[in-house]
Amino acid sequence: MELLSVHNLAYCFGAVPALLDVNFAIEPGEVIGVVGQRGAGKSTLFHLLSGALSPSEGEIKVDGRRVTPKTVAHAQHLGIVAVHQQFQLVDDLDVLHNVFLGRELCGPDWFPILPREGHMMQAARAMLTTFDLPLDLIEQRAAVLSTEQRQIVALARAFSHPCRLLLLDDALAVLSFARQQILLDQIKDLAARNVAIIMSSDDLKQIFAVTDRVLVLYQGRQVALRRTSESTPREIVELIVGSNRQERITPVIWAFENYYAAQQQAEELRQAQLELQQNLEEQDSLNRQLIERLHNQVEALDQLNLALQQASRRLITEREAERKALARELHDQIIQDLLSYNYQLEEAEGETADESLRQKLAEIREGIRQVVGSLRLVCSDLRPPTIDHHGLSAAIRSLVSQWSEQTGIAVELQIDPALGRLPETIELSVFRIIQEGLSNVRKHANATRVNLGLRRTSTASLIVDLIDNGQGMGRPLNLADLTEQKHFGLVGISERVSLLGGTLQVTSPPGGGLTLQIEIPSPYPSISDS
Amino acid sequence: MYLKDLLRKNIREYGMFIALFVIIVIFTIMTKGIFISSRNISNLLNQTGYIAVLAVGMTLVIVIRHIDLSVGFLAGFLGAVAAIALEFWHLPVYVVIPMIMGFGILAGLLTAYPVAKLGIPAFVASLAGWLIYRGALLLVTAGTGTIIIQDKTFNAIGNGYIPDIFPNSNFLPKVHKLTLLIGLVGIILYIISAINSRKKKQAYHFEVLPTNIFILQLVFVSVLIGLITWVLSGYNGLSWTVVIVLIVVAVYHFITTQTVLGRHIYAIGGNPEAAELSGISVKNLTFVVFGSMGMLSALSGILFASRLQSATTTAGQLFEMDAIAAAYIGGVSAAGGVGKVTGSLIGALVYMSLTSGMNLMNVDIAYQYVVRGAVLALAVIFDVATRRSAK
């Protein structure tokens, strides 16, 4: 016994026919697919069957009786329920009330005008669970839903009541691949429970997966009604396109096949993307941990460095103090002792008459004088005597003239008259730096002239320039290499400079010569030097 | 949910309460307390009656995206018919009132026919009604001019007050005790029903107000009801007009918020095509809504005629505009689908408070129209602005 039959159904928009001469019948539990190009009249057919439109001609029979549905409510009363493509939801109502819109579950039984919210809530929850939607959507307004969620709410409305004929107008298109499979399973399930289904889809794979027969519309006319099992996608495509010319069919078939493949790929891609995102997140947190650890280590290193600098500053200060003590010891004790021995020897020399003994004593005294002379040199090397009493500039003048005498290298000295006195550590360090620099010149430069300049800058820093005209450096400077080769001169200078917080600049122009420029920041930055 | 969020979420709903409160305070200060006096409030409520009844019906019409301009002169015309039936046909009042209400329903269905069946815009269809009923009113009063109504029962509807219990007892003299009792019963019923519906919602895991705010709301509404009944009981108590308006509002509030019919009406306003496709008969509901509008027009006409104790040739003039303004001020959205019956009642109160207050202050009628227009414009701008920010 057929559930619904359609005879010569036609519908015209004004004078324009949208659908002509449609004839078919459907039995309970049967699934019919409706296919056709855009504008072929699929949606019009669904509107006619669901009662949203009244046919211009022809008739619809339900259970063999002529009952062309005049309104949607009438069709629903006959057991015909539709999911349309457009105008599905009322935006101001929440999901729950959209699901049951038009067919609320009502009570009490004797006068059903009051909605039974609790019953509807439970049913809606079950429905959303089936389609794998979050349950808290139930109280959301329909306006905030995504296209896919809206489609699911529209489907839920159709599934909310038992029906005899379900009309699905392209209901699968906006669903994700996984939910399409759920819906196809639901369709099979309903068909097994004797519900007739008419569905349209642009996806022939879906049509061939669930339908028993296929109705093909072409420009508003029914061109074929085939058993799905006796047909092929190629034949259906030929009918949809309305031609069997190879060059028109092939792209469409190609498109259909690729559509399915593309959808599957899109789903896989989505999964992969999800996984990638998770991986990225993990990676990100790992990176952050690493960065944190690195940061900690750098901080620790910084502290160690600081401690090291302090230690070496202390070391230098102590060394200087020791040198000072040693020099004082030598000067005040040993040299004085030696001199007093010298006097004693002189006395002994005056008392004796032995000429040869006097000769010998005179030689010894000459020796002692020489020892005293070299001890004095050692002393002044250990601790420049002038620096404590007369300041840096005097000490440097004396150092330079001494050095010039010893080496025979001319030194042009330019000392800023406004140099003034500086803290002891700085003065000593600068003195040592110049000492070391000059000794470098003597050892390595093979120079004939040296320029030495000390001046204060406007920011009260001290600048030392040491320029020679020697052979310069063959290759770029590398302190680490120098250390390995046990050339501690420049290394020592740079260490002292860095302990004072200053900068060292070494330039060696290609024409020969070497320039050291050392800048030491002012120890009294807030006081202007005028 | 915090109070601030709640306020922002429901600012449209609370907005009118705030507006009403502000207006009452301003007029009370400007009139040195006369405005808030029992006598004036009682008068104000009686004046609001026939507009409030129209505004309730208009709410539903606007919610389904239509308008009805014919209601003013329909009310005037039906009031005149009632007067004729009482005075010339000598029909008893208990026959006249249902008959007039029936005429009202018929008139509403008549307006609905071109709208629902032929797709003619309601503005045009009801404008035709406006002209026709105006003509009809002039026609039926042409021979007699103003018709004086003698029937005491009929006139009591617009001027009478409910009787008191123990009018001569020494307990609370000069106070209308039945009014107080009704207020008390109203408060108790309100609290019980609010708690019940909250329990029901919780049982189904719906979102409910947090407990402290719920209690705040209970206290606020209870105090409001208590104050109003206290003020009214100081004069003559509840008038029959107020009782009728309260019944109408209660019935329509129940229908719109609790029944399937109400939900379908709002669905049609929200998206007529979707409502149609989901099986709701938009045509039938259009008839229902316009029919109820016609019935309420008849009721409004009865209230007005009874209040004036006569039917005049200009009865009902501009009622439709007042009702539409009240509905818009009360938060009914011009875009359809949104609006509450209780809101329109508050809107009508706001609108009539303005009139009453300005009359007390002897403001020139020309300025009164300007102020009322400005308030209407503000209300609609407020509605559109809050609606936009809610999306």
CB contact under 8 A, A89 and B258: no
A73/B207 CB distance under 8 A: no
| CB-CB neighbors (< 8 A) of B277 in chain A | 50, 52, 72, 82, 84, 87-88
- Strand partners for A60: A6
Inter-chain CB pairs, A–B, below 8 Å = 88
Residue A483 pLDDT > 70: no
The residue that leads in pLDDT, A303 or A520, is A303
Asked whether the CA dihedral A335, A341, A347, A350 is positive or negative, the reply is negative
Answer yes or no: do A101 and B258 touch at CB < 8 A: no
Q: What are A375-417's pLDDT values in tens digits? A: 887 887 777 766 777 778 888 888 888 888 888 888 888 887 7
Interface contact B199, partner A, CB < 8 A: no
Q: Is the CB of residue B343 less than 8 Å from the CB of residue B331?
A: yes
Residue A526 pLDDT > 60, yes or no?
A: no
Confidence band of A144 (pLDDT split at 50, 70, 90): confident
Average confidence (pLDDT) over A219-228 = 85
Name chain B contacts of A101, Cβ cutoff 8 Å. Answer: 267, 274-275, 278, 280
- Inter-residue contact B341 to B249 (CB < 8 Å): yes
CB contact under 8 A, B277 and A72: yes
| Under 8 Å between Cβ of B344 and B330 | yes
Give the separation between CA A66 and CA A70, rounded to whole angstroms: 12
Which residue from A240, A172, A178, A238 is spatially nearest to A203, judged by alpha carbons? A172
- The arithmetic mean of pLDDT across residues A87-109, rounded, is 82
Between positions 220 and 259 of B, the ones with CB within 8 A of A are 258-259
Cross-chain residue pair A117–B203, CB shorter than 8 Å: no
| B33 backbone φψ class: left, alpha, beta (φ>0; ψ -120 to 50) | left
pLDDT digits 0-9 by tens, B186-240? 999 999 988 988 888 787 777 777 788 888 888 988 988 888 888 888 888 888 9
Instruction: Tell me how crowded residue B363 is: count the other CB atoms within 10 A of its CB.
Output: 16
For chain A, list residues whose CB is within 8 angstroms of any CB belonging to chain B: 50, 52, 71-73, 75-76, 82, 84, 86-93, 97, 101-104, 106, 112-115, 117-118, 121, 139, 143, 157
Average pLDDT of chain A to the nearest whole number: 82
Chain B contacts of A106, Cβ < 8 Å? 260
Task: Answer yes or no: do A113 and B260 touch at CB < 8 A.
Answer: yes
- C-alpha–C-alpha distance, residues A69 and A76, integer Å: 9
pLDDT at A403: 84
- CATH of the structural domain B2-160+239-390, one choice from 3.40.190, 1.20.1260, 1.10.3470, 1.10.10: 1.10.3470
| pLDDT band at B71; cut points 50, 70, 90 | very high
- Give the mean pLDDT of B101-109: 96
Using the beta-carbon criterion (under 8 Å), do A90 and B203 form an inter-chain contact? no
Judge whether B274 is closer than 8 Å to chain A, CB to CB.
yes
- Pick from A196-200, A269-273, B296-300: least confident: A269-273
Q: pLDDT band for position A527 (50/70/90)?
A: very low
pLDDT tens-place string over residues A316-350: 888 888 888 888 888 788 888 888 888 888 888 88
- How far apart are the C-alpha atoms of A376 and A175, rounded to whole Å? 101
| Domain assignments of chain B as residue spans, ordered by start | 2-160+239-390
Report the complex ipTM: 0.79
Rg (CA), chain B: 21
